[in-house]
Amino acid sequence: MKFTSFFRKAKEEKADDKKKPTRENKAMDKKQDSIVILCGGGPAPGINTVISAVSKQFLEADYRVIGLHDGYKNLFSGKASVVDIDFDYADRIFNRGGSALRMSRYKPKNEEFKTDFFVENSIKLLVTIGGDDTASTANRISKYLLDNNVKIQNIHVPKTIDNDLPLPEGISTFGYQSAKDEGVRIGSTAYEDARTSGLWFVVAAMGREAGHLAFGIGAACHYSMIIIPEMFDKTKISLDKIIRLIISSIVKRAILGIPYGIAIVSEGVFHNLSDEEIKSSGIQFTYDDHGHPELGNVSKAHIFNMMLQMKLKELGLADIKSRPVELGYELRCIPPKAFDLMYCNLLGIGVRQLFDQGYTGCMVTSNQTGEIMPVHLKDMEDPETGKIRTRLVNMSGHKAQIIYNYGLHYLSEEDYEAAQKYLGYPADYDFKKILNWK
């Protein structure tokens, strides 16, 4: 009888539990205020830290936290893949690399926009994590929702290892510092290999339009040549000039009795080259449906290294050997370093602060003292394109001036006589003349 009573009581308690509002049942209540988090573009260290910090803040305030997979891809299709984020989920991911929410580079057109998802889920805040394209799309969505009387706030968290979003001077995008640290770790090993083997390495670093990552890694590793798109501010960029800049460094070091070195090149230089220029490189490319070279299918370091080897043979310097090293995908999904763990936590908490203060259509930023500040997306738009402006390396800034004037090895006019041992026309390899710098 005792056992029968025990099981009857347990069964009754279980039935009562089913009637209680579980987190899952509560999450389906359309009346509960919600926020939605999505990630666009490519991975960067610290994404999960931001997702975790934002989620914990809003869960504490009794909001439903919706994680949206695949960026903007299915936001308006009625096929959104979502996850309800609870504390356990958020707490497990905060220090992991990659992104717990699948990412996408999909950019919806204005005619795709709908209010359904936001209205049906009682969304009060759209949190977007991404780079310039993600921010520009968030800006367009914000305008659309406002025009259609859907009152939600939109706060963007600037993410990119390229560091090319127009944040206040001295403030980096999250992910950049961790990616740079990992790039320096790999790059330092490559430099040790160059010194040990008596070789040259040509390193290519990610950076779609700006050279921040290549500059940061190259300067930290004491590379003898750093080539970024911003340095071609007084002349048109070309593959020939890039190769001559590398050879300028090789010959300068040869004069100094240093038979090794590394030149790092930002992949951003390709975005300033015409298709004809790229095709003329002699490298075999595949082409897209519009006839454009598919640069994502080839190693940029391989391209530069092959062209360098061909030029060295042409100059009678075939005994100088070089090898390619690509710094790209290896940097994107590493666990965030201490800087970004702290920084991303501040940004996540900052989203809640700005939301409570009523801000919308802005990026969250945190300065060196930890102060949270909004930067409005409309203030960063290019008035002609409506897109977010790209932050380039400031070639007039102190860092760039110091590194390019004192931190590299390259030929100048005073080296011409010694350089004739290697080159018939040393002036063609004069660093400042190539760039048309005074």
Of 87, 157, 72, 80, nearest to 121 by C-alpha is 80
Domains 19-174+336-380 and 177-332+408-434 share a fold: yes
- Strand 123-130, strand 322-327: pairing: unpaired
Q: How far is CA 3 from CA 6, 10, 315, in A?
A: 5, 11, 95
pLDDT at 289: 63
Of 275, 293, 296, 292, nearest to 284 by C-alpha is 293
Instruction: Please give the structure tokens belonging to residue 437.
Output: 């710098």
What is the maximum span of the chain, computed from C-alpha positions, in angstroms?
108
Rounded to whole angstroms, the Cα distance separating 50 from 68 reads 14
pLDDT at 425: 95
pLDDT at 12: 52
CB neighbour list of residue 154: distance below 8 Å, 6 or more residues apart: 125, 126, 128, 138, 141, 142, 145, 360, 361, 362
CB neighbour list of residue 134: distance below 8 Å, 6 or more residues apart: 39, 40, 41, 71, 72, 128, 156, 159
Is CATH 3.40.50.11540 the classification given to domain 177-332+408-434?
A: no
Q: Which of 70, 133, 162, 415 is catalytic?
A: 162
Whether 33 is a known active-site residue: answer no
CB neighbour list of residue 375: distance below 8 Å, 6 or more residues apart: 167, 168, 362, 363, 365
Of 353, 331, 332, 342, nearest to 94 by C-alpha is 342
Rg of the chain in Å (alpha carbons): 26
Q: CATH top-level class for 19-174+336-380? A: alpha beta
State which residues of the chain have pLDDT below 70.
1-30, 288-295, 386
Give residue limits of the domains in the chain.
19-174+336-380, 177-332+408-434
Tokens 């504490």 appear where? Answer: 60
Rounded to whole angstroms, the Cα distance separating 161 from 46 reads 10
Rounded to the nearest 5°, which phi and psi values hold at 57? -65, -45
pLDDT at 295: 67
Instruction: Give yes or no for a contact between 63 and 356, defined as CB atoms under 8 angstroms apart.
Output: no
Instruction: Give yes or no for a contact between 75 and 91, defined as CB atoms under 8 angstroms apart.
Output: no
